[in-house]
Amino acid sequence: MAERDKALITALIRREGQLSRIEIHRLTDLRPATITKLTKELLDEGRIEEAGRSDNPTGRKQVLLRSNVEFGFVVAVDFDAENVRAAVLDLAPRVRGPVIQEPTVVDQGKGGLIAQLLRCTHRALDASGIAPEKVLGIGVGDPGLVNAVEGVSIFASTIEFWQQVPLREIFEAEFSTPTLIANNTRTKAAAERALGAGAGSADMIFIEYGRGIGCGIITGGHLLEGSRWAAGEFGHTHVTEDGPACHCGSFGCLEAIAGIGALEAGARRAIAQGGFSQALSLAGGEVDQLTGWHVLQAARDGDKMSVALVESMATCLGLGLANLANLFNPSLIVLDKRLALGGDQLLEQIKRVVLRQALGHVTETLQFRYAALGDDASLLGPALLVVDRIFEMEPVRTVGRIARIAGRQKGRKAVCDA
């Protein structure tokens, strides 16, 4: 029971930022003597630390307690078809060592990519100087459809050989550390909601845009996963029956029509037919170096061919988002920061399509933003999910205090929100 109550106290302190012993008593109904004893043990163990005294205008100034974010550390790993990134973070979470980044090995099959993920994780640990015993968990953001319960990557449409990979088992065998595997669109959505453009929104949609198009859906404060962990496969919603083939095996998927690869292919095709685009200049005059990101940048600068391609993409993406808005009624849509290469006009184009196509009641207060964290979200997201698991409020649920805690908060943010 003592360990359970200590876990409860540390979870509450993390959720609230800092608390006095009196506030802990009010929130938990634990006896003051028990709180004094347990918080002393937590201070001695280094799991919490003193944070000065309260600034209440009357009465005795109370000692405030906060989490010690250096009590332990987590390793975050993220990968997609283009890059592998890994770093060590504290429990805030904040990156506490060099970020290891390598181009993804896609020409050596499943074994080659697994070896690269493990190697990058080892490099991040070695570069951080953190003792292995201080690492409390590992979080991995995977680009595919993930069975989060079993820690298995089922398949990734952008990496054809990445199927049925028992990634959690592989990492735990290698590092002897609890490992969490999650779809990296969802991890980025969690990061943007908690630390970025989401500003704690309880009903938010995050769109990841690249070779694939992913969607992280947060509704009622909870990240939606679905019965088979496939919620948010936005890129594989159908725009047309006669569209181009998609890596998933179907035709006419949104990502095949409007993903960054489609922009790239459209620009190269037009140039091959004799067209000119500023995007080619941005690629150094080399057609085989031209990417969809060059097209976005050229469109922002007014290049006619690029503007036409991006407007078509924005229309398709906006139509898809209008459907999501009608289905989930979010208060906020956050678009991948990389789309900001297209400028504010791209955001406005997408917004106009959504406002035109979705229900007026749904869009009346709907906000649109570019993401704030960029590449940082790829590491902050997995780390955040691991830290949340470490500090989860399960102790509260097991003793049935959750309703009393919510009722006693009197306007403060509910400590049990996801």
Block residue for tokens 């990968």:
79
pLDDT of residue 200: 83
pTM value is 0.87
Do residues 212 and 228 share a domain? yes
**What is the arrangement of strands in the sheet containing 135-142, beginning at the earlier edge strand?**
100-103, 83-89, 73-79, 135-142, 179-183
Encode 153-208 in three state secondary structure: EEEECCEEEEEEECHHHHHHHHHCCCEEEEEHHHHHHHHHHHHCCCCCCCCEEEEE
Do residues 208 and 125 share a domain? no
pLDDT of residue 83: 95
Q: Are 136 and 390 in contact (CB under 8 A)?
A: yes
Residue 227 lies in a domain: yes
Diameter of the chain measured on Cα atoms:
81
Do residues 42 and 105 share a domain? no
The Cα–Cα gap between 54 and 20 comes to 8
Do residues 224 and 269 share a domain? yes
Do residues 107 and 122 share a domain? yes
Calculate what percentage of the chain has a pLDDT beyond 70.
93
Do residues 83 and 64 share a domain? no
Handedness of CA 264, 269, 271, 276 (dihedral sign): negative
Do residues 292 and 207 share a domain? yes
- Say whether the peptide bond before residue 395 is cis (omega within 30 degrees of 0): no
Residue 401 lies in a domain: no
Last residue of a domain, one of 18, 44, 68: 68
Distances (CA, A) of 39 to 18, 25, 33, 60, 237: 13, 12, 10, 19, 51
The CATH number of the domain holding residue 28 is 1.10.10.10
In three-state secondary structure terms, 409 is: coil
Do residues 356 and 210 share a domain? yes
Domain, as residue range, for 235? 198-372
Residue 402 lies in a domain: no
Last residue of a domain, one of 68, 99, 123: 68
Give the β-pairing of 367-370 and 332-335: parallel
Last residue of a domain, one of 34, 53, 68: 68
Do residues 152 and 227 share a domain? no
* CA-wise closest residue to 338 among 370, 361, 309, 313: 370
Q: Are 329 and 352 in contact (CB under 8 A)?
A: no
The Cα–Cα gap between 68 and 49 comes to 6
Do residues 93 and 214 share a domain? no
Count other Cβ atoms within 10 Å, centred on residue 163: 14
Burial of 203 (0-12, 13-18, 19+ CB in 10 A): middle
Give how many domains the chain has, as a whole number: 3
Do residues 218 and 324 share a domain? yes
Do residues 307 and 350 share a domain? yes
Residue 418 lies in a domain: no
Encode 221-279 in three state secondary structure: CEECCCCCCCCCCHHHCECCCCCCECCCCCECEHHHHHCHHHHHHHHHHHHHCCCCCHH
Residue 27 lies in a domain: yes
Residue 247 lies in a domain: yes
Residue 38 lies in a domain: yes
Residues shown for the chain: 418
Helix 292-300 with 260-272: angle, nearest 10 deg: 80
The CATH number of the domain holding residue 109 is 3.30.420.40
Low-confidence spans in the chain with pLDDT less than 70: 57-59, 393-418
pLDDT of residue 393: 54
Residue 413 lies in a domain: no
Count other Cβ atoms within 10 Å, centred on residue 126: 13
pLDDT of residue 398: 35
